[in-house]
Amino acid sequence: METNSNELYINFVSDGAASAHGFSLIFEEVRVACGDTISLTDQLNSATIMSPNYPAAYPHNVDCVWIITVPAAESVQVEFDENFNVEQHTNKLLHSSKKEYYTSKVKECGNDSMQLYAVAKSILFENKEIELPSCANDLELANKFGEYFHAKIQTIRTNLEDLLEQNNQQSDALRADLQFTGYTLQEFHPASDQLCNL
């Protein structure tokens, strides 16, 4: 038997008629299975994902990852319903981990790392001149931040590659972060212990 929540209530009652050997129960914590890989197509163009036990409260210490893929020429739009309700600190941790991840990636760049790091500092809200769309919550802000950051860095790398090709120079210096520019923020998932140690 497995419960549908993080609580189990057991009530044993005996009467005065007789007694028996009784019973022994073995119980253990079971990790909640969640997350999935979802591939959308022209025929299947939408899907719904839910947190464990929804609409009831999700249990402690779950780590759910949903990987959503769409055809190459498409993008993914996510809509949260009016019941979207998660712990406030989760959004802040996720935002913080994204900032640290992208900052570290920029620092690992090649010969033009100082230029990229200067751009990254402004994108990471350390410069008030950067304007991002106003958002209703931290999670939405973090996602928009990541999309903007990824697009900005991708543009820089493309421009630098074009410039090097025009001048017949080698682009070896750019190889360190080419993989980084090929991944969108939605595919970045920090490990649980990384989030906990922020």
- 40-50 tens-digit pLDDT: 888 888 888 88
Last residue of a domain, one of 65, 85, 105: 85
Q: Residue 99: what pLDDT?
A: 55
Average pLDDT, whole number, for the chain? 61
Q: Is the pLDDT of residue 34 over 60?
A: yes
On whether both 80 and 98 belong to a single domain, the answer is no
Q: Residue 129: what pLDDT?
A: 41
Q: Is the pLDDT of residue 8 over 70?
A: yes
On whether both 74 and 113 belong to a single domain, the answer is no
Q: How many structural domains is the chain composed of?
A: 2
On whether both 98 and 67 belong to a single domain, the answer is no
Nearest to 9 by CA among 31, 30, 25: 25
Tokens of 188: 């970045």
- What does the alpha-carbon distance between residue 149 and residue 180 come to, in Å, rounded to a whole number? 12
Last residue of a domain, one of 66, 85, 104: 85
Strand partners, 66: 36
Q: Residue 67: what pLDDT?
A: 81
- What does the alpha-carbon distance between residue 190 and residue 176 come to, in Å, rounded to a whole number? 20
Q: Which domain holds residue 26?
A: 1-85
Helix (H, G, I), strand (E, B) or coil at 172: helix
Last residue of a domain, one of 85, 107, 142: 85
Average pLDDT over residues 15-19: 81
